[in-house]
Structure 1
Amino acid sequence: MSDNGTAVAMAFVALFLVGGVISFFKQGLKKGALLLAVLAVLATIAARLWW
């Protein structure tokens, strides 16, 4: 996979995790939502660094 392809894949992972944050928060699982939020931020940073 090219460098841009990896960055795009990481961006999609970040968006998927943001969806999980919203879902967990709606269910009242605040610790899980916090964990997914941290992972989403890390995936966003990884996508930005790979770009």
Structure 2
Amino acid sequence: MTSSYAAALLIFLGLFLIGGVISLARQGLPKVLIGLLGVCAALAITAGVLRWK
């Protein structure tokens, strides 16, 4: 699959954080917290994709 475990770990972390965003949004928590978690998820996925090669 991939020789870079760090890339796979970052992508997994990003997907986990997206699940957290969805959960927090359903609970009705503040949008600032949801936005911050969403930005962190996007950064983790981006870093994983860039490390993939």
Question: Which category describes the TM-score, using the shorter chain as reference length?
Answer: 0.7 to 0.9
Deviation at residue 19 of structure 1 after TM alignment? 0.6
Give runs of ≥4 in structure 1 deviating > 2 Å: none
Q: 1:19 & 1:48 partners in 2: Cα distance?
A: 18
Q: Percent identity?
A: 47
Q: TM-score by structure 1 length?
A: 0.86
Q: TM-score by structure 2 length?
A: 0.83
Root-mean-square deviation (Å): 1.1
> Over residues 5-38 of structure 1, what are the superposed CA-to-partner deviations in whole Å (9 max), with x where a residue is unaligned?
1000001100110011001101112221111100
Q: 1:18 & 1:33 partners in 2: Cα distance?
A: 10
Task: Give the letter aligned to residue 33 of structure 1.
Answer: I
Structure 2: give runs of 5+ residues left out of the alignment: none
User: Per residue, is there more helix in 1 or in 2?
Assistant: 1
Structure 1: give runs of 5+ residues left out of the alignment: none
